[in-house]
Structure formats: C-alpha cells, structure tokens
Amino acid sequence: MNRPSLPTGIEEFERALADCLAIAERAMPDCPMISIALCAGEGIRTAVCSPARAGLLDGLQSAAGQGPGLDAIGTGLPVTTCDLAGETRWPRLAVAAPRIRAVHCEPLESEGAPLGVLTVCSERAGAFAPETVTAAEVTAAHLGVIFRTALDAARTKEVAAQLKEALTTRTVIDQALGIVMAQRRCTSRHAFEILRHVSQDRNVKLHQVAASIVEKVSGEPAQRSRFEDPPQHVVRRRA
C-alpha cells in the first residue's frame, strides 16, 4: 500500500498536530505520554509528542524494526499491550524500552493509505481508561482529515505558483513569436513550432529560448511581466 508523501512547506500541518495532541491530552484521565509519528521510509519519525520522552518509543521501534506502532500501521488496526515488559510479540523492543509498560497505538490513515501512528503510553502497567482509548480513536480519525486539508492547500499553492510562472513568461514568448513571424514571414502557429523545436533540440525551456531571441534582437534582456498577489483583506470586527 502506497504511503502519502508529506507536502513540503506546510507548517500549518505541524501546528495542527500539536493542537490535536494538546486537546487529546486534556481528554485522557490517565495522564499518559502521547506521541504522533509519521511514516518515514521503512520506519517512523516523531512529529509531536508530550512530554519530550514520549517520542522515545517511536525511535526505538524504527531502530528495532518491530513494535506496536509499526504493527498498527501495517495492519490498519489498533494495537494494545497492558505490559510491554512481558510481551513476546516484540522482544527486542521490550528490552530496549524497560521503563515503558502500557501502550495503545491508533493507526493514522489518509485516503486509505497509512500516514503514521498515534501512540499513548505509560510507565505503569495496566489497561488504559475507556475515555483514554476513545480520545485516541477520535484524535486519530481527525488527523487524517487535517492531513488531507493541508495537502489540498499545498497543492493549491503549487498550482498557483505554476500559473504565475506561466503568466510571467507568456509575455516574453509572445515577443519572440512576433520576431520569428516577422523574420520568417510565417503564422503564429508555425513560429511557435519553430521555438518548440529549438527548445527540444537544445534541451532548454521554451521561455528561455524566447528570452534569448528577444535579447539578441533588442540588445537588452527580455523583461517579464510582474503579477502581484492580491492583497489580503482583513475583516475588522465592530466594537
């Protein structure tokens, strides 16, 4: 099953993870340690955790290649142990993390693909309260929605950047087309085909070929049009 790749440059997603963790923490009566880890290669990496040592189990699982979190990701089902010290399913992990006892892991998914794992753990052996397990389940479900929202926002920014690039280079290409049409006495379609062939033969982007033609004829570097982002309107509340 393919894992969704994390979009770059979306700090909002990391902040949202921290907010969800804080809310879940307040809803859990056992005061457990909590971590949210995301898939990274064959293992996982801690994105947010509370307290800081809560992310220790994530790193140990990646190093050992086994553990409840990895099993939860692999099966898509919650994994629980009341006492990690007595577990036979992950012997290497039990030895590496002697202070961690009770563990509950909820898999995180986005559009049916594994995203990571939410882990609740304690240094005391025993089952977690039902409210703790419910809070973990609800939080895990919301994290998938948050990821999809962040991914859609990142894709929208990427498309907007590509559109702006196309608009800024279009003016230069149009200038080059006019020059080729005048020199070759041809149609705009024929002129475009000439530019396209030169671009392919030289393995250079079309707008770069156009810019070189404009600069050669005019003696000056081609000037791109500038498209500024619209100003953001701030809605002021009435006092």
Domain boundary among 154, 171, 206: 154
Average the pLDDT over each of 84-98, 158-172, 217-231 and give the range with the smallest value.
217-231
Residues 204 and 113 occupy one common structural domain: no
Residues 126 and 147 occupy one common structural domain: yes
Does the pLDDT of residue 236 top 60, yes or no? no
Higher-scoring residue by pLDDT: 99, 78:
78
Number of folded domains that form the chain? 2
- Sorted by sequence, the CB contacts under 8 Å of residue 194 that are 6+ apart come out as 180, 184, 186
225 lies in some domain: no
Beta carbons of 115 and 108 less than 8 angstroms apart: yes
Cβ burial, residue 203 (10 Å; 0-12/13-18/19+): exposed
Beta carbons of 139 and 23 less than 8 angstroms apart: yes
Confidence of residue 108 (pLDDT cuts 50, 70, 90): very high
User: pLDDT per residue over 205-232, tens digit each?
Assistant: 888 888 888 888 888 776 665 545 544 4
What CATH number does residue 193 fall under?
1.10.10.10
The per-residue pLDDT for 154 is 60
The per-residue pLDDT for 215 is 86
Residues 186 and 115 occupy one common structural domain: no
User: With a threshold of 0.85, does the pTM exceed it?
Assistant: no
- How far apart CA 69 and CA 118 sit, in angstroms, is 8
Residues 93 and 195 occupy one common structural domain: no
Domain that holds residue 214: 161-218
Mean pLDDT of 43-72: 92
User: pLDDT per residue over 120-129, tens digit each?
Assistant: 999 999 999 9
Which residues face 103 on adjacent strands?
Answer: 81, 121
